[in-house]
Structure 1
Amino acid sequence: MLRATLKSLLARKVRLVLSMLAVVAGVSFVTGTLVLTDTLNRTFDTLFADINKNVSVAVRSVNAIDPTSDVGRPPLPASLVSTAAGVDGVRVAVGKVNGQAVLVNPATGKPSNTNGAPGIGINWTGGQPTSAEEIAEGRPPGPGEIVVDRATAKKLHLSLGAKISVQTKGPPARYTLVGTFRIGGQDSLGGAAVTAFDTATAQRVLLAPDRFSAIHLAAGPGLTQEELRARVAAALPPGVEAITGRQLADESASAVQNAVSGFSTFLLIFAAISVFVGAFIIFNTFTMLVAQRVRELALLRAIGASKRQVQVSLQVEAALVGFAGATVGLVSGAGLALLLRVAVGVFGVALPSGALVFRPRTVVIAYAVGVLITAAAAFVPARKAASVPPIAAMRETYVLPTRSLRSRAIAGSVLTALGIVLLILGTASAGKPGATAVGVGAAGIFLGVATLSPLLSGPITRVLGAPLARMFGATGRLGRENAMRNPRRTASTASALMIGLALVSAFSVLGQSIKESVRETVSNSLGADFYLTPQNFGQGFSGEVARELAGKPGIEIATGLRGGLVKISGQSSQVLAGDPAGLVKMLAIKEVTGDVHALGDGTILAEDSTAADHQLRVGQKVPVTFADGRAELTLVGTYQKSQVAGKWIISTSEFARHSTDDLDLFVLVKRASGADPAMVRAEIATVVKSFATVEVRDQSEFVAQQEKQVDQLLGFIYVLLALAVIIALFGIVNTLALSVIERTREIGLLRAVGMTRSQMRLMVILESVIISVFGAVLGVVVGSIFGWALTKALASLGISTFAYPVRTILLVVLTGAILGVLAAVFPARRAARMDVLRAISAV
């Protein structure tokens, strides 16, 4: 039986390759994602280990919000350096300064990093026993001078002696470039532009005079990191902690790994979608192969093969296809990982050199996905093969019996109903739980509709094919009848395409709803005429911008917005900070209780529902934990739910008491009544000219920018979904190719009675178009429902409006038709080129 199985596979090489393609694509995606994840983790583990290899102990302030995060961590007094240096066993103590420093490209006048990688400022400590920095060209910096990482210098074509503008937390200043350096033996710190100043300058522009972000210690001979940490910790004041160098390296690597893990999970979701689509293709392929090999299977039974042997033979055949596909997918997955690595570099993350990491887990998962998914998809066709009676070998007209569609109707209806119930529950829940319920519900609807699709196939393909029958006459009618001939086959093929196009439709609906919600929010909740934003998302800009704009001619209000993570009543939450005089008006805050205009030092505002959840009333003390410790703020007012303001608001001055960063994320500007918009914009442009990191937009431009960001994200998602659509395309090609083989005699007879080659090609193409459009229609219907439910479930995140992208949905249906034409090229050509006499005489 094994020899028969192998001969059967090798005798049908084209079918083998077409069956493998779906496996290869899915396994490649899974493998590429796992290899990239492991490579990134290993790379950054090594990088941070090298950077901190000379640090025995690090001293830093306690972060009351997140013990492992440096965001908002209070600085240390410089006097602690001598305290730490005096501990027995400390060989040297070096103060470290870290902050935001955006290098301005002298050739363009724009920030050096505008694609997501941060701009980092440090003090130069090269040459110290704890340092990982070393000069590559030039010399260390002095007052008024800087050195930059070697990769950034090469990227911007910077020459020593050039005057470079650097934007820090204060007004921008120009420095002389006197050198370049390497970090931990690498030219770049993960793509970040790193600028180093002398220590006194770094303290002044990045932190505060006589302050350090941390203190790094080197141990004396024979002393372990743990031993030194214990000694140092005993000498530190309250609110200051000591950790080992290994712990510091692990924390730094962990922060990156968490981001990589999220990205990896995101990619694996789409890889799972591709594998799911591939399972449909494998099922359909083996169902058709069994139907075409009835006499062969019957002969095996007639010469003594048992039902079990026949079924095992088909399962082994499927497993071999899966194994071959997984092997190819494993190799191509490595290539995909290289492409993804290059793509990561395009987004500004320059990875240190190193080979791809292939862990044993990756190989195991690749073969498990390839073999198990293929074997599972072929299980039902294999059972059908085992049911072929030996007598069938004597009858040319025998066909496999088909079960009633009644059981499918019941199962499909139950799955669809459960999916709809979960969708409804998801729309009634807020945030992540609601989105999860919507996702599970959507999966249920996918399976339900796929199960019901054979019942839907006949009537829908009849309607879709009617125009083609009128347009192309007998050829069109034959194409439609071929699509309707086997509802199960048509439905299975269309269902694979349905999944990919349904997700495209769902994300299109979600994206359009997000864009419409942005327009309404900006129009109704923001009273600004101009919006000032950082060019590099996530990195703020100096609070000097808002302060300089305040009181300028033609400007009524200019208020900066900033914020961060705090803990209120033990729960993590985001707090918004702004100028009390302008914030309430600019954000259209609607008072519920108290006096929202009383916001100031020592006070806080809360959204009315949030205040109710925390059982707070106006006048009560609210315990708020900042990174530097706990404070009690008085609740002076509550306001109606706002998509912009969030749940908590404090004043900029109160926020500044707990943070050394004088950085705004936005500045909102409202012009005075009657002021000329062009003149006001010119006034703003004059102020921000020296702040190269700031962009100015009016309301329409700001909305367009937000929409562009949504479109970029959707574009990335569409690229990932394209693989599932391509796998479905392979499925249509496979189905049509096998269908042509199955109908060899019929094709020969049609040619014999006068059908031309061009008519034959057109018939196959029209059949493919009907199947594809059927899948697209199912996808659009299911995807639209999914998109609506997802929009409702994410309403708490600011998606307040449902909008339907009619043009995009029509494009999805048109895409289905185009895919049908592309999928039919090879099968149609093969059908048209058949020898008429051989086709008629085929058995």
Structure 2
Amino acid sequence: MLRATIKSLLARKLRLVLSGLAIVLGVMFVSSAFVLTDSLGGRFERLFQTVNQETAVQVRADSEAGAESPPLLTDADVTRLSQVDGVASASGDASAQGVVPFRARDGKAVPSSGAPQLGVGWAGGGDLLQVAEGAVPAADTEVALTRFTAEQAGVGVGDRLKVYIGPRYESREYTVTGVLEYSGGRPSLSGETMVAFTMPEAQRLFYGKTGVYGGAALTAADAISDDDLKSRVAAVVPAGFEAVTGAEIAEEQASAFKQLLTFVNWFFLGFALVALLVGMFLIFNTFNIIIAQRARELALFRALGAGWGQLTGSVLIEALVVGFVASTLGLLAGIGVAYGLQAAAGAAGLPLPEGDLVVGVTAIVVSYLLGVLMTVTAALIPAIRAASVPPIAAMREVTRPDKPMLGLTVAGSVVTGLGVAAIAAALFGAPLAAVLIGAGVLLSIVGVALLSPALTRPVAGAIGRLVAWGTAGDLGRRNALRNPRRTSVTAVALMIGVALVSTVTVIGSSLRSTVRDLVENDIGAEVMILTNSQQLPDGREGFDPARLREVDALPGVRESIAYHFSVATVNGQPQQFVSATDLGRAGPMFALEEESGTVAPSGPTEALIDTNTAGTLGLTVGETATVEGAKGGPRTYTIAGIYKSQLTAGLLLPESAVETFAGPLAMQGFVALDEGADTDAVVAGVERIMADYPLVTVGDQESFIAQQNALVDGVLAIFYVLLALAVIVAFLGIVNTLVLSIYERTRELGLLRAIGTTRRQVRGMVRVESLLIAVYGCLLGIALGVGLGASASLALRQQDLLSVVTIPYAQLAGLLVAAALAGVLAAVLPARRASRLNVLDAIAYE
């Protein structure tokens, strides 16, 4: 039986290729995710080891040090550390992030691709960093730059450079005296920018005085290990500091980066599993068709004495081989994709740390496990059906009618009803709303999949009457409806991908409409000042709110308001979002809707809170909230009012609360204009006033809408690209089903050609069949996706995260047209094969 199975496989190579393509693509996604994240993790792990290789022990502020008054080392402290037995050298460190150079050509800040933007006090680069051109800074008005920084800023030795100093919240100009390179001539380690000042200038900029350091790096004498030196240094470090080895620092940095990569990995794996799920439908349909084609062959085995287990095993072995071969090809393709993505990142100007491609054991094991397991699982039911072929089928043709679909229809209706009920319960405020929506989505997809065979004849039949013309079209329609189970399984594979795309499209459209609705109807400002924050907001990124006094002096400006944002501990609960602004003017500016109390408090210790946060914290009007920010200690505020707003949320504090934030900068600003004021002129004036702040952008309402919608579109584009894989797999399923059904209908096609059907008519018949499957699957997906997307949008609206729910009919219609065109393209190969069958060979098929 095993030999017969192997011969069957080798005799049907095309079948192997077609049935394995879906698994190849799905496994490619899985393996590329693992290989990419493992490779990036390895690159950055080596980077952190390189950066810290010259440091035996680092003395740094301990984790208990607060933002209000971070501890500093003095020259005397550094000298004392250098005298510890086993210390070869000790050097103080003065460094900070948020030191941003400006471009010479247009005065704009050098953008960050996620890498840090550093400022350091030059104390010698050791073996890691050397001077490539010019000299190191010798005066407080001079700086040196890494080559990557100089290229990004468009400056060289002798040029003037404007630099934003994050710790001082201001910009200054310096003369570039030198260009630095890392060992091996590298312009950058990982796309970071670095500006090197004299040590005294760095100390003044970062700490407000000279002779102090944020930490110290120690090297060890030859006879002592890093761990032993750490123990000795730990006994003499000043209060507020700790000693750690260079290896421990590298491990901490690598661990933090790998934690981020883990999230990225699971994100991509989610889409890979969707593609593999769609692939399972393809495998299931493929083996169903194959079993139908091999009915007499399998019956002959039964007649010769093969048992139920042998026949089932033979089909599963075939599935195992398909899964193994497809997983191997998918793994290799994934490795290629991961390599290509890293190369593309470098070509796009996003330099990565040096390193090799890492193909870990996890990537290999998971790729084979998922690919093989899902293939064998999908083939299990067809394998069981194969064993049930009666031996009599070997002697004569036996037609095995389709089983009644009543049970499947009832089950589908019940499951769909449960899904709709779960979503409805969540929308009407039942507990565990997120869980109910998730369960409702899953049940709805499964329910519609179960219902699809019963829907095939009425829905696909109606579609066929619209698009099928002439004899060939009518034959194609009848072929699609002949086996509703097969048609529905092929269509459901497409339905899943289209449903997810449609869901994302509806949510995205609602987000875009909400942005426009809020800006045009709720924001009481015509000009907005925004900060493209690179970290969790805490008042250290943005602009000086005092600059708004200059904004108020511009012609046409009626008033302006600053909006500060941070994270604090509220009533003992950490990581709560809080904001501070002029509460007396916040109501009309942010469209605060009064739920209870007042939205215009006047007392210095009064605050506002939105309805959702009030429920989470258990606060009502008149109760108090104790807020503890980064500095200044806890402050208590009385809740003066509870509000609803689409523009802001959380605890709204008076402007005096900014004193407790880590920094004094405002994250946003809103400028209201006089009637008939020149908006463009005001925007230009505000841009000049905010020119010193690299992360700040200024625009009118339309530019604000465009900016926010660009963010939405960027996120949606990622989802569309990732979901496209599932849709591609589904269309491969249509090709697969049609090609295999051509083999099944060889005699029928030969008879059609014998009685005068032309090759063109045969091709048209197959095209109609493919078109019906594609449009039917797409319509199911759109209907399901619109329902799910609208439900999710309504849930978000109940949470005040959306104000408008819209259905993008034009986009959905475009999706349907694209599916129809793809259906026609999917029929090219099967139609060509069907039209070229030799008539005599086809008639004499058996």
> Fold-level match, TM-score > 0.5?
yes
| d(CA) in 2 for partners of 1:624, 1:63 | 21
Q: Which residue in the other structure is 2:18 paired with?
A: 18
1:684 aligned partner, one-letter code? V
Whether the 8 Å contact between 2:33 and 2:338 is mirrored in structure 1 is yes
Determine which of 598, 602, 606 is the counterpart of 1:598: 602
| d(CA) in 1 for partners of 2:759, 2:30 | 42
How many Å apart are 1:617 and its aligned residue? 5.9
Q: Which residue in the other structure is 1:146 paired with?
A: 143
Q: Which residue in the other structure is 1:455 paired with?
A: 454
Determine which of 117, 121, 139 is the counterpart of 2:118: 121
Alignment of 1:499-578 (within 5 A): 499-534=496-531, 540-543=541-544, 545-571=547-573, 572-578=575-581
Specify the SS of the correspondent of 1:106.
coil
Whether the 8 Å contact between 1:606 and 1:635 is mirrored in structure 2 is no
How many Å apart are 1:836 and its aligned residue? 1.5
2:103 aligned partner, one-letter code? N
Specify the SS of the correspondent of 1:353.
coil
Q: Which residue in the other structure is 1:714 paired with?
A: 716
Determine which of 826, 836, 841 is the counterpart of 1:838: 841
- 1:631 and 2:627 equivalent? no
- 1:160 and 2:163 equivalent? no
| d(CA) in 2 for partners of 1:56, 1:745 | 80
Q: Deviation string for 1:597-654 (max 9, x for gaps)? A: 4365x66443355346535466765333333474223235333022332211234553
Q: Which residue in the other structure is 1:194 paired with?
A: 194
Whether the 8 Å contact between 1:562 and 1:578 is mirrored in structure 2 is yes
How many Å apart are 1:686 and its aligned residue? 3.4
Q: Which residue in the other structure is 1:799 paired with?
A: 802
Q: Which residue in the other structure is 1:253 paired with?
A: 254
Alignment of 1:363-382 (within 5 A): 363-382=364-383
Whether the 8 Å contact between 1:159 and 1:177 is mirrored in structure 2 is yes
| d(CA) in 2 for partners of 1:609, 1:535 | 26
| d(CA) in 1 for partners of 2:94, 2:183 | 16
2:318 aligned partner, one-letter code? E
Q: Deviation string for 1:436-461 (max 9, x for gaps)? A: 54334222221221122111111111
| d(CA) in 2 for partners of 1:670, 1:304 | 88
Q: Bigger CA drift: 74-83 or 801-810?
A: 74-83
Q: Which residue in the other structure is 2:688 paired with?
A: 686
How many Å apart are 1:107 and its aligned residue? 2.8
| d(CA) in 2 for partners of 1:268, 1:327 | 18
Whether the 8 Å contact between 2:102 and 2:161 is mirrored in structure 1 is yes
| d(CA) in 2 for partners of 1:178, 1:42 | 35
How many Å apart are 1:736 and its aligned residue? 0.4
Q: Bigger CA drift: 97-106 or 743-752?
A: 97-106
Alignment of 1:227-626 (within 5 A): 242-342=243-343, 344-345=345-346, 349-395=350-396, 397-400=397-400, 402-427=402-427, 434-435=433-434, 437-469=436-468, 472-534=469-531, 540-543=541-544, 545-571=547-573, 572-579=575-582, 582-590=585-593, 592-593=596-597, 596-598=600-602, 600=604, 604-607=607-610, 610-611=613-614, 613-616=616-619, 622-626=625-629
Specify the SS of the correspondent of 2:827.
helix
Determine which of 800, 811, 816 is the counterpart of 2:814: 811
| d(CA) in 1 for partners of 2:502, 2:562 | 38
Q: Bigger CA drift: 210-219 or 403-412?
A: 210-219
Whether the 8 Å contact between 2:592 and 2:599 is mirrored in structure 1 is no
| d(CA) in 1 for partners of 2:233, 2:556 | 57
Q: Which residue in the other structure is 2:95 paired with?
A: 97
2:405 aligned partner, one-letter code? L
| d(CA) in 1 for partners of 2:771, 2:318 | 31
1:189/1:78 Cα in 2 relative to 1: closer, same or farther (>3 Å)? same
How many Å apart are 1:393 and its aligned residue? 1.0
1:814 aligned partner, one-letter code? V
| d(CA) in 2 for partners of 1:779, 1:656 | 53
How many Å apart are 1:282 and its aligned residue? 0.3
| d(CA) in 2 for partners of 1:617, 1:473 | 72
1:654 aligned partner, one-letter code? A
Specify the SS of the correspondent of 1:798.
coil
| d(CA) in 2 for partners of 1:77, 1:215 | 9
Q: Which residue in the other structure is 2:792 paired with?
A: 790
Whether the 8 Å contact between 1:52 and 1:132 is mirrored in structure 2 is no
2:688 aligned partner, one-letter code? T
Q: Structure 2: 5+ residue runs without aligned partners?
A: none
| d(CA) in 1 for partners of 2:814, 2:155 | 47
| d(CA) in 2 for partners of 1:193, 1:354 | 20
Aligned residues: 829
1:14/1:152 Cα in 2 relative to 1: closer, same or farther (>3 Å)? farther
2:450 aligned partner, one-letter code? T
| d(CA) in 2 for partners of 1:662, 1:204 | 19
| d(CA) in 2 for partners of 1:521, 1:802 | 13
Give the structure-1-normalised TM-score.
Answer: 0.91
1:125/1:418 Cα in 2 relative to 1: closer, same or farther (>3 Å)? farther
Specify the SS of the correspondent of 1:164.
strand
Q: Deviation string for 1:341-375 (max 9, x for gaps)? A: 34555786421121111111111111111111111
1:476/1:588 Cα in 2 relative to 1: closer, same or farther (>3 Å)? same
Q: Which residue in the other structure is 1:762 paired with?
A: 764
| d(CA) in 1 for partners of 2:570, 2:211 | 28
Whether the 8 Å contact between 2:165 and 2:205 is mirrored in structure 1 is yes
Whether the 8 Å contact between 2:55 and 2:246 is mirrored in structure 1 is yes
| d(CA) in 1 for partners of 2:622, 2:225 | 53
- 1:76 and 2:70 equivalent? yes
Whether the 8 Å contact between 1:98 and 1:213 is mirrored in structure 2 is no
1:26 aligned partner, one-letter code? G
| d(CA) in 1 for partners of 2:767, 2:497 | 21
How many Å apart are 1:792 and its aligned residue? 2.9
- 1:648 and 2:631 equivalent? no
1:676/1:361 Cα in 2 relative to 1: closer, same or farther (>3 Å)? closer
| d(CA) in 1 for partners of 2:385, 2:667 | 64
| d(CA) in 2 for partners of 1:509, 1:53 | 51
| d(CA) in 2 for partners of 1:428, 1:225 | 61
| d(CA) in 1 for partners of 2:800, 2:231 | 45
1:634/1:534 Cα in 2 relative to 1: closer, same or farther (>3 Å)? closer
Give the structure-2-normalised TM-score.
Answer: 0.91
Q: Which residue in the other structure is 1:820 paired with?
A: 823
Whether the 8 Å contact between 1:99 and 1:207 is mirrored in structure 2 is no
How many Å apart are 1:748 and its aligned residue? 1.1
1:474 aligned partner, one-letter code? T
Whether the 8 Å contact between 1:75 and 1:214 is mirrored in structure 2 is no
Amino-acid identity (%): 38
Specify the SS of the correspondent of 1:646.
coil
